[in-house]
Amino acid sequence: LLTMPIGNPELKAKYIDIKPGEIYKTSTGDKMSFDEMIDELASKKVIFLGESNTSMNMHMSQDRIIRALYERNPKLLIGMEFFRREHNEILKEWSAGKLTEEELLYKTGWYESGGYNFGYYRPFINFAKEKGLAVEGINIPRTVLRMVSRQGLDKLPEKEKKMVGDVDVNNKEHKQLIMKYFGGAMMGHGGDGNNKMMQAMLDKRYAAQCVWDNVFADSILST
């Protein structure tokens, strides 16, 4: 996954060795300090902070970045995949200090919907509450994603179609990457019939991933 030849043609075959704690600008390969990174990020409209869901180190890095960005520009909005769009009024109450943590988790169904241990996210969510920063949900109900994953994008009811918008499933490099995650190598096993069934299943799962990405982008652009 880390060495797939996809992306910018000028960069996709280039590699650098990175040690723990080091930061590099991927467009140039130049090493940079944390403060230099924050200075550059502070000028951007949208910043994506990736994570491994159960890595506390990654969540600590997210918290550090959010706090540093706040120092550069206090007008931050934090979008989170573990909250859904319909949770935004509840999240406003949280940022305004009107809810306890227990009430926030109960009203948003954090654990019922499969959220990881809230402790991973507590530091920067508490920081948002302390500073009155907006926290918004950018996701939709998982039931919609399950519909696509099991039945296909074309089988979505009209209400759900309006919810997810126009979804592009024809980006070849994106599909190559996602299929790698899903185990596309499985396509080489079994007879033709099994391969066709596997392909159909993977295509639906890929469509669900595209819905996921599309909804996130739409939510961000709508803020």
How does pLDDT run across 179-217, given as a tens digit for each residue? 888 875 444 444 445 688 888 888 999 999 999 999 999
The pLDDT score that the predictor gives to residue 40 is 95
Q: Average pLDDT for residues 64-78, to the nearest whole number?
A: 95
Distance CA 160, CA 72 (A): 39
pLDDT, mean over the chain: 90
Per-residue pLDDT band at 94 (split at 50, 70, 90): very high
Distances (CA, A) of 112 to 44, 58, 86, 105, 140: 34, 24, 15, 9, 14
Q: Average pLDDT for residues 105-126, to the nearest whole number?
A: 92
Candidate from 6-10, 36-40, 48-52, 192-196 with smallest mean pLDDT: 192-196
The pLDDT score that the predictor gives to residue 194 is 66
Strand pairing category for 77-84 and 134-139: parallel
The pLDDT score that the predictor gives to residue 1 is 80
Q: Please determine, for residue 106, whether its predicted confidence score (pLDDT) is greater than 90.
A: yes
Model pLDDT for residues 124-159, shown as the tens digit of each residue: 999 999 999 999 999 999 899 999 999 999 999 999
Cα–chain center distance at 198? 26
Per-residue pLDDT band at 7 (split at 50, 70, 90): confident
| Angle, CA of 218, 219 and 223, to the nearest 5° | 115
Question: For 52, what's the count of Cα atoms within 13 Å in the CB-facing half-sphere?
Answer: 5
Query: What letter represents residue 53's amino acid?
Result: N
Buried b (16+ CB within 10 A) or exposed e, 122-136: ebbbebbbeeebbbb
Q: Identify which has the larger pLDDT, 192 or 162.
A: 162
- Gyration radius (Cα) of the chain, Å: 20
Q: Average pLDDT for residues 64-84, to the nearest whole number?
A: 95
The pLDDT score that the predictor gives to residue 193 is 52
Based on the number of CB atoms within 10 Å of its own CB, is 20 exposed (0-12), middle (13-18) or buried (19 or more)?
A: exposed
Q: Average pLDDT for residues 99-121, to the nearest whole number?
A: 92
% of the chain beyond a pLDDT of 90 = 70
Q: Where are the beta strands (DSSP E) in 85-167?
A: 134-139
Question: For 39, what's the count of Cα atoms within 13 Å in the CB-facing half-sphere?
Answer: 6
Q: Average pLDDT for residues 169-175, to the nearest whole number?
A: 92
The pLDDT score that the predictor gives to residue 195 is 80
